[in-house]
Amino acid sequence: MIDTKARHLVQPVINKSADTALKLGLHANHVTVAGFAVGIGAAGAVYAGWYMAGLALLWLSGFLDVVDGTMARKTAPSKFGTVLDISFDRLVEFGIIFALAMRFPDVMWLLLLLTGSILYTFAVFLSVGAVADEESEKSFYYQPALAERTEGFILLSLMIIFVDYLFYMALLFLTVQIITVLQRLYLARKILS
Which residues are tagged catalytic? 89
Calculated CA dihedral for residues 92, 96, 97, 103, nearest 10 degrees: 150
| Number of alpha carbons in the 13 Å side-chain half-sphere of residue 151 | 20
Q: Name the residue among 150, 139, 146 with its Cα closest to residue 175.
A: 146
Interacting residues of 123 by C-beta distance below 8 A, sequence separation 6+: none
C-alpha to C-alpha distance for 77 and 89, rounded to whole angstroms: 17
Using CA atoms, how far residue 74 sits from 16, 30, 89, 124, in Å, is 12, 15, 21, 28
C-alpha to C-alpha distance for 176 and 114, rounded to whole angstroms: 10
Q: CA torsion sign, 92 to 98 to 99 to 100?
A: positive
C-alpha to C-alpha distance for 122 and 166, rounded to whole angstroms: 23
